Amino acid sequence: MSDESSSGVPRWILIGTAACGLLAAALLLVVRVYEVQKARAEARAAEARAAEKRAAEEPSAPPPGSAAPPVATPGPPKPPVEPARSHAEVDLLAAIDVSAATTNGPWRRDGRFLVSPRGGDRPQNSWVLMSRPPAENYRLELEVERIEEGQGLNIGLMVRGTRCAAVVDGFASIGGASGLEMVDGKPGKSNDTTRVGKRLPINQRKVLAAEVRAGRVTLWCDGDRVFEWSGGVDRLSPNPNWPVPEPGRLFLGSQAGFRFSRIVALPLD
């Protein structure tokens, strides 16, 4: 028997070549299987990571038989953050003398309430004087209810010896607005503190808070900040349309009917 094939190539070379081909095919198959298994493992790992992320973002379910956690319900509006107080509050409402300190219509007492005159069709600027602020830095808090549609409320303030006023719901010509006046000679409807919109709806009690501290004036309504101003006191001045006497005293001014149930001042540290 000959050791060569019909082509003249030794038989052992042909057998060796065939064996190498089979070995290469087997190796390719192993590599392919490995790649498939690797891809599947990576997919499972990615799916596991995604599930862990979803579980971390979603609230966990309570164990079987346990009560579900309570659902949070919205509470009432938050009041402004309470400042540090150096003394007890001063009751300004009780100290107001309605018989001697009013103009352009009588302010009056109605039980424990202070009531401003109604404006009617021809509202006039009417005011009542209050005490001096208890300290250079202080907070004025008022509980007030509008009892007549119309113009707004002025809260006369003293800022380092200068009188100004926080106006709430004034300026009906622009649909109602709030702001500090006067700032750089401009009224509350046309300076940096102007905030358009009404905040004192009729027959609803609201809590106003005006804070004066180191050349800064902030006004809140039911815990929501209406405006905040800061700057040199030389930029502030009283509105000439409100010639309130006795500089140095706080005051209330109105062109419509309001009912006050609480007015207090608090010295601040």
Return the closest-CA partner of residue 229 out of 149, 157, 134.
157
Question: What is the chain's length?
Answer: 269
Check whether 17 has a pLDDT greater than 60.
Answer: yes
107-165, pLDDT tens digit by residue?
999 999 999 988 765 667 889 999 999 999 999 999 999 999 888 999 999 999 999 99
Of 145, 142, 254, 151, give the one whose Cα is nearest residue 208.
142
In eight-state DSSP terms, residue 236 is B
Q: How far is the C-alpha of 245 from the C-alpha of 229, rounded, in Å? A: 25
pTM given for the model: 0.67
Contact 170, 151 (CB under 8 A): yes
pLDDT in tens, 198-237: 999 999 999 999 999 988 999 999 999 999 999 999 999 9
130 prior amide bond cis, ω within 30: no
**Structural contact between residues 120 and 103, judged by C-beta atoms closer than 8 angstroms:** no
Q: Which helix (H) or strand (E) holds 129?
A: strand 126-129
Between vectors from CA 218 to CA 199 and to CA 256, what angle results, nearest 5°? 35
- Which pLDDT band holds residue 8 (cuts at 50, 70, 90)? low
